[in-house]
Amino acid sequence: MYNLHAIATRHYGRITVTLGAELATTCDAAEVIDWYPGGDRVYLVDPGTAQVFISETKRPGPCGEVIMPWNRTVEIFDADHTKVEIFVNEQKRLTVPVQDVKHEYNVYKLLSITENIYMIAPDGQIVPAIYVKVFGPASYQACVDYVNKQPKAA
């Protein structure tokens, strides 16, 4: 496995680890086999980091000598750890920081001719089609300020 890289972001207590690498031949294979916390690994003492475990294997040939891209995403429910360690065949290969994603929100207006009814929802949330987005993404307070400045229905 060449050029192993990862990005880890946290949003609402969930770390999303996006992994990428290059496999040396068409016979090389890799798969995420476990993660911590939340996977099958159990520690008596917390290791102090979230962890992702990759198994790299070789399939029987014939093999093409072609660099093969490899990408995976792992979701880890973890609100505390600030780093993620990446292991390949039980060997630590990479440590990356967890970047916290800003919590942003959107303001939606009910599709109504007679009433001004607004809803504030987290960015990326699925919203019923009876609402239309009118503001955002922005901080929660900016969304509240936007709603408070809108004219009230008679």
Instruction: Look at residue 44 and give its three-state secondary structure.
Output: coil
pLDDT over 90 at 123, yes or no: no
pLDDT over 70 at 154, yes or no: no
Check if the beta carbon of residue 65 is closer than 8 Å to that of residue 25: yes
CA distance 34 to 32: 6
Pairing state between β 2-11 and 91-100: parallel
Of the chain, the percentage scoring pLDDT greater than 70 comes to: 98
Mean pLDDT of 107-113: 86
Q: What's the predicted TM-score (pTM) here?
A: 0.68
pLDDT at 1: 86
Other beta carbons less than 10 A from residue 14's beta carbon: 14
Q: Could you please report the per-residue DSSP string of 45-59? A: S--SSEEEEEEEEE-
